[in-house]
Amino acid sequence: MISQHVVVLAVVVECGVLAFAFLLLFLHGATARVRRRLLARRVADWRAQLIRTVNDDEQGAGVPRDVPRLPLREHLEILCALRPSIAGAGRDRVLAMAIASGLMRRGERMCASRLWQRRLRGVRLLTLLGCGETCVPPLLNDRRPLVRSQAVVWAADHADPALVGRLVELLGHPEIVAPFTVRDALQRIGRPAVGPLIEHLRQATGPAAQEPLRVADDLADPRMLGAALRLSDDDEPGSRAGAARLLGALGGAEAVETLGRMLEDPEETVRTGAAQGLGRSGHWAAGPALAGRLCDPAWEVRRAAALALRSFGSPGVLLLRRALRDSDSHARDMARQTLDLPEVAVR
């Protein structure tokens, strides 16, 4: 059997671990408590001063000289709470105060760190402050995806053409930056993103065009029509479907004609996109073509066609009513459901 000494040793070691854990537990709690108490007054003063500065229109560029020495955490907690809800001159004044308190310098230093965690903190800090034009853009090519992503978030507030171009390049590369981050940044940038996006769509083919098409769909600028028409013939069904939705958002005779043709595409995702696109364009003359899709073998296409018809108002409803007598049972069912007829309510 195991020697009794070994078990005694185990018990002693456990006692040590327990004592350590207890100490950790209490010291951490106690330190946090003491820290909160010690800093409470300074934190309250600083918060009040910041709010006064933001609200004081007469103050101009005047930044309080007596910026208190607060630990970074407390400083940032106040800024984080305040920053999203202020804009204009108040925001500039808060930034000036942050610069005066050395936060910006600190963020810039962090961005240059060899440790990725510090670089991440640096970009987050500069994103919060709204500065860092020199040190953040290179971090779009950082080794660490988290740092790259945060640099993209920062770029959303700094619509420099070169930066926007880089963001567009990053679209459709989930291994480099999360698609949501880039899409969100480009949507926030808005109009300045249209040019680089069109440029990108002119050359993009296959799966690489899908993410840019999603962003284009959100921005829906008429100048995108050429690229959308070109991509409506792409080999990749996902890209054709994306192009169909974009064409629907753009509208116009050429777009509608292409969408009508796309309703006959062999891929159901493309037919669905085309039906949705026609619905969005509001081109009720496309009603008969959509009514024909009510007997499509794919449920998604039938649903998209029926909803598009309904969105046309009276002309579409008329076609849906006609479809109630269609020889195809799928078309009849979908028309009934779309018209909210009770016999299919519960099944």
Residues near another protein (CB under 8 A) are 1-2, 4, 7-8, 10-11, 14-15, 17-18, 21-22, 24-26, 28-30, 33, 76, 80, 84, 117, 120-121, 124-125, 127-128, 145-146, 149, 153, 174-175, 177-181, 183-184, 187-188, 218, 299, 303, 306-307, 334, 337-338, 340-342, 344-347
State in angstroms the smallest separation of the CB of 59 from another protein: 26
Residue in the structure block whose two tokens are 């640096």 = 122
Burial bucket for residue 311 (CB in 10 Å: 0-12, 13-18, 19+): middle
Burial readout 247-285 (b: 16 or more C-beta within 10 A, e: otherwise) = bbbbbeeebbebbbebbebeebbbbbbbbbbbbbbebbe
The smaller minimum CB distance to another protein, of residues 325 and 347, is found at 347
State in angstroms the smallest separation of the CB of 258 from another protein: 26
Identify residue 224 by its one-letter amino acid code. Answer: M
State in angstroms the smallest separation of the CB of 232 from another protein: 24
The smaller minimum CB distance to another protein, of residues 163 and 256, is found at 163
State in angstroms the smallest separation of the CB of 11 from another protein: 5
The smaller minimum CB distance to another protein, of residues 13 and 285, is found at 13
Torsion (CA) 327, 329, 335, 337 in degrees, nearest 10: 160
The smaller minimum CB distance to another protein, of residues 77 and 257, is found at 77
In 3D space, the residue among 45, 44, 54 whose CA is nearest the CA of residue 92 turns out to be 54
State in angstroms the smallest separation of the CB of 302 from another protein: 9
The smaller minimum CB distance to another protein, of residues 119 and 256, is found at 119
Contact 155, 193 (CB under 8 A): no
Q: In sequence order, what are the residues at sequence separation of 6 or more whose Cβ sits closer than 8 angstroms to the Cβ of residue 271?
A: 262, 263, 264, 265, 293, 296, 298, 301, 304
Rounded to whole angstroms, the Cα distance separating 107 from 110 reads 5
State in angstroms the smallest separation of the CB of 23 from another protein: 9
The smaller minimum CB distance to another protein, of residues 18 and 112, is found at 18
